Amino acid sequence: MQDVTSAAAEPRGARIDPDPEGLLRQLRARSTGDPVTHVERVAASAGTSADWPYWVPDELRKALVERGVVAPWRHQAEAADLAYAGSHVVVATGTGSGKSLAYQLPALSTLLADPRATVLYLAPTKALAADQLRAVAELGLDGVRPACYDGDTPQAEREWIRQHSRFLLTNPDMLHHGILPGHARWSAFLRRLAYVVVDECHTYRGVFGSHVAHVLRRLRRQADRYGRPGPGPGGTTGPDGTAGPLAPGALAAAGPDGTTGPGGGAGEVRPARAGRITGVAPLPAGAAFASRRDWAARRGPTFVLASATAGDPAGTAGRLIGLPVTAVTEDTAPRGGVTFALWEPPLLPPEPGATRNTGTVVDADTVVDTDTVVDTDTVVDAGTGARLDGPPGTGASASTGRSADRPDPSPGHLVPGGDLAQVRRSALRETADLLSDLVATGTRTLAFVRSRRGAEVIATAARRSLDEAVPGLGRRVAAYRAGYLREERRELERALLSGELLGLASTNALELGVDLTGLDAVLICGYPGTRASLWQQAGRAGRSGREALAVLIARDDPLDTYLVHHPEALFGRPVEATVLDPGNPYVLGPQLCCAAVEAPLTETDLELFGPAAPAAVAALTESGALRRRPTGWYWRHTGRPEVDLRGTGGTPICVVESATGRLLGTVEESSSHVLVHPGAVYLHQGVSYLVDELDLEGACALVHAEEPDWSTHARDVTSLSVASVRSYVDAGPVGLFLGEVDVTSQVVSYQRRRIATGEVLDTRPLDLPVRELRTVAVWFTVSPRSLTAAGVDPAEVPGALHAAEHAAIGLLPLVATCDRWDIGGLSTALHPDTEAPTVFVYDGHTGGAGFAERAYHAASGWLRATRDAIVECGCETGCPSCVQSPKCGNGNNPLAKPEAVTLLDVVLANLPGEPAAESD
């Protein structure tokens, strides 16, 4: 999100409009063949402004006008009006559309009008919170006292902030670990909480999103408890030593200070029925703007959420906060036209026996999950470097004909081994060339790449080729990644905007909290995973009414291949909805324990935590975590439960540098065997470490700094059994299922591979315990007879299933906001539980994260796209762009590409075309 000033269209400098179509012609002319598969023209729009809402105080309006915001855009005013009237609202508009103003107006107006009101702002990163703090502080409003409160806040300042700040900027982790557990100290702040702002709310997805959903319910619960009048918090002291039972009813009546009497303020706001958590009390028509103190009469704070463009923003935001939300989606900010090209790097000629064209840059993604923002408070860089799978036949379970692909948080790039030699030119190399071509013509260009290493590779290659052409020109290209200080970021922004710097290669760290406008071209190296991210990145170009060029360069990946050949899947189609599942019992249970520590849980509270809560509380009582008493359910233990917002269960493993005792970061217990096994290369903020010891009991891994020229790759043996079937579709020879499965895996060895070539140096055994994962899977079965009838040789069935499984995992992000790294798969020609050839695709998180479920409901579209991606890849026997997987636990063996297409044809011919119907 941008600060308020970007809402004003302000041309920077006197530059000539670039001619994106001319630029594209030049780029195409320099390439072998024509790599452009599609060109889309996205028209410019002029922007529609609105009047300032009448309720905005002069002081605020003047401060904003001084900062260059002449008037709000219509969507800003619309969202602000809704929020001011007490509706929970989500603004889901494009990059740079000025979403900040939509919450700043109601929040700051309320703070100015009522000296007691408070506002809580949540950002997924500390950097974004710091930028928002700066934007609010610069307005210089009296009495607002904005302050950041996070892991970096000095102890000495914390007390002052608790006492005096009325605009608190923090993150969900701090809310979960710091503020809610200490709610009594925050009682004054929580009592007067008028607004909760949830910025970049699309980043709360999957398991993390499900946790955040409950953290927000816990926040609502505490705000509600302290917001009630009469005896209670501060009055009596309950058994938990913080707050006592509360008088139900009369919730919306006068506060203790008598500011808003019953019937005053908002008019006929009736007290809610005893303890029911229903969210906002409905405001009668016409009374919406009756009083500046409306907020005080409301039931709980009003939520204002800001999202990137996303599908079903109201639904997702509603699931996140547990209340009905109104969406504002029409973007009325002005924008320039964009010429958007899809670019597929050419296939390189096959090289017999070669492992990789030596002139090719090897993609080596190390970012865990580029869509989820990992707050550096908690988890830093869990990547182990490039995951380069080995030659065929080394997979420990290959002999069983079963192929397992674990969900793996360490994405990398496949270097084909053995006889698989046909690959496309690397997307990194292609992007580096495009960047240098554009910079050479004076075009201000930003190149997005998924990994830090990728950003550095692109910048280095572009600098080198520019210096060859014009010595010194290379200096005008730089790399940018997360972890830079604000001063460093500002300097880069300044240099790029002034034209000193012409090219920047960046990870998507730039998506959040950095204000870059007025670029001429954006290169996107590899599909960023979601259409939402794609538009957010492309949105960096062409603002301020200027024309711009955007190019998506396909990587070796089935989803990228599919998209460059199916522009209709990218353009003129709503972006995907964010998936989260607050009902996941492995998230809900621990969150209910946290809530019970904060205050005993009552029946009423259970409604707040959703329909799965009563069963979860019963299970927790059974297991002895909670005890039922007449006044509610109590946490039975001393101390708090350890709950990591980014995982499901298990104590995170601390990664500690032996020599200094410094804590580098943590790794989720579930991925520790893969990421920090003894001998593993562990990357932390671009620095490489070697793991000396993994102490599972002590939950720590000891490492030392070392930069070897090889990478490590864990190998595992995996099996899966079906625990229960939730739902299925019986389609004759084909079956489609959704259910719980138990995945058992053991990391048994690791390979060391030369980074430059992918050459396997050796395989070393490991002695690690078996891990079990109860999760949710979608699977399909095909009868052997139907496969034979379709012409698939029985000997090719395992390869067909395995190839289909890889491609299906690769295409799943088309229908669910997951990354392929969130997903695991297993295929087998005969599974004991299904007694048929079967492909399983499962959520890599305990209890599931909603991805498999989404895949089940979108199965026919998902599998059709999978089939098309395989068919449309120009390779003959399979390549990383179609059926090979960079994280295959089986060394990409066996794989049968043509047979995989036949298999999927059989499945699609039998599956109903509509989303799978529910049955039991």
Residues forming contacts to Zn ion in the complex (CB under 5 A) are: 403, 405, 873, 875, 879, 881-882, 888, 890
Long-range contacts of 263-270 (CB under 8 A, 24+ apart): 264/291, 264/297, 265/290, 265/291, 265/293, 265/294, 265/296, 265/297, 266/86, 266/290, 266/291, 266/294, 266/297, 266/298, 269/297, 269/298
Which is nearer to Zn ion, 746 or 881 (by Cβ)? Answer: 881
What's the min distance (Å) between Cβ of 875 and Zn ion?
A: 3
How far is 709 from 362, CA to CA, in rounded Å? 14
How far is 557 from 392, CA to CA, in rounded Å? 19
What's the min distance (Å) between Cβ of 891 and Zn ion?
A: 8
How far is 33 from 29, CA to CA, in rounded Å? 9
Report which residue type is found at 643: V
What's the min distance (Å) between Cβ of 344 and Zn ion?
A: 12
Locate 501 and state its tokens: 């710097």
Which is nearer to Zn ion, 749 or 881 (by Cβ)? Answer: 881
CB–CB of 561/294 below 8 Å? no
What's the min distance (Å) between Cβ of 718 and Zn ion?
A: 10
Which is nearer to Zn ion, 408 or 644 (by Cβ)? Answer: 408
Which is nearer to Zn ion, 528 or 886 (by Cβ)? Answer: 886
What's the min distance (Å) between Cβ of 315 and Zn ion?
A: 34
What's the min distance (Å) between Cβ of 403 and Zn ion?
A: 4
What's the min distance (Å) between Cβ of 362 and Zn ion?
A: 18
Which is nearer to Zn ion, 588 or 803 (by Cβ)? Answer: 803
Which is nearer to Zn ion, 667 or 869 (by Cβ)? Answer: 869
Locate 69 and state its tokens: 């915001």
Closest by Cα among 83, 92, 371 to 209: 371
Which is nearer to Zn ion, 508 or 890 (by Cβ)? Answer: 890
Q: Which residues contact 18 (CB under 8 A, 6 or more apart)?
A: 443, 520, 521, 546, 547, 548, 549
Closest by Cα among 99, 584, 577 to 314: 577
Which is nearer to Zn ion, 539 or 825 (by Cβ)? Answer: 825
How far is 53 from 72, CA to CA, in rounded Å? 9
CB–CB of 413/388 below 8 Å? yes
What's the min distance (Å) between Cβ of 395 and Zn ion?
A: 8
What's the min distance (Å) between Cβ of 352 and Zn ion?
A: 18
Which is nearer to Zn ion, 406 or 845 (by Cβ)? Answer: 406
Which phi-psi region, left, alpha or beta, contains residue 537 (left: φ > 0; alpha: ψ -120 to 50)? alpha
HEC assignment per residue over 747-792: EEEEEEEECCCCCEEEEEECCCCCEEEEEEEEEEEECHHHHHHCCC
What's the min distance (Å) between Cβ of 881 and Zn ion?
A: 4
What's the min distance (Å) between Cβ of 393 and Zn ion?
A: 13
* Residue appearing with tokens 């299906």: 808
Report which residue type is found at 855: A
Which is nearer to Zn ion, 352 or 471 (by Cβ)? Answer: 352
Which is nearer to Zn ion, 213 or 888 (by Cβ)? Answer: 888
How far is 173 from 151, CA to CA, in rounded Å? 9
Which is nearer to Zn ion, 136 or 888 (by Cβ)? Answer: 888
What's the min distance (Å) between Cβ of 669 and Zn ion?
A: 24
How far is 49 from 69, CA to CA, in rounded Å? 11
CB–CB of 776/847 below 8 Å? yes
Cross-strand pairs, 728: 737
What's the min distance (Å) between Cβ of 422 and Zn ion?
A: 8
How far is 78 from 48, CA to CA, in rounded Å? 12
Which is nearer to Zn ion, 551 or 888 (by Cβ)? Answer: 888
What's the min distance (Å) between Cβ of 343 and Zn ion?
A: 17
HEC assignment per residue over 667-704: ECHHHHHHHCCCCCEEEECCEEEEEEEEECCCCEEEEE
Tell me the CA distances in angstroms from 398 to 75, 389, 746, 883, 891, one per residue in order. 56, 14, 14, 17, 9
* Residue appearing with tokens 């002069």: 58
Which is nearer to Zn ion, 477 or 879 (by Cβ)? Answer: 879
CB–CB of 505/433 below 8 Å? no
What's the min distance (Å) between Cβ of 837 and Zn ion?
A: 15
Side-chain-facing half-sphere of 38: CA atoms under 13 Å: 19
Q: Which residues contact 369 (CB under 8 A, 6 or more apart)?
A: 409, 819, 821, 822
How far is 432 from 436, CA to CA, in rounded Å? 6
Which is nearer to Zn ion, 587 or 879 (by Cβ)? Answer: 879
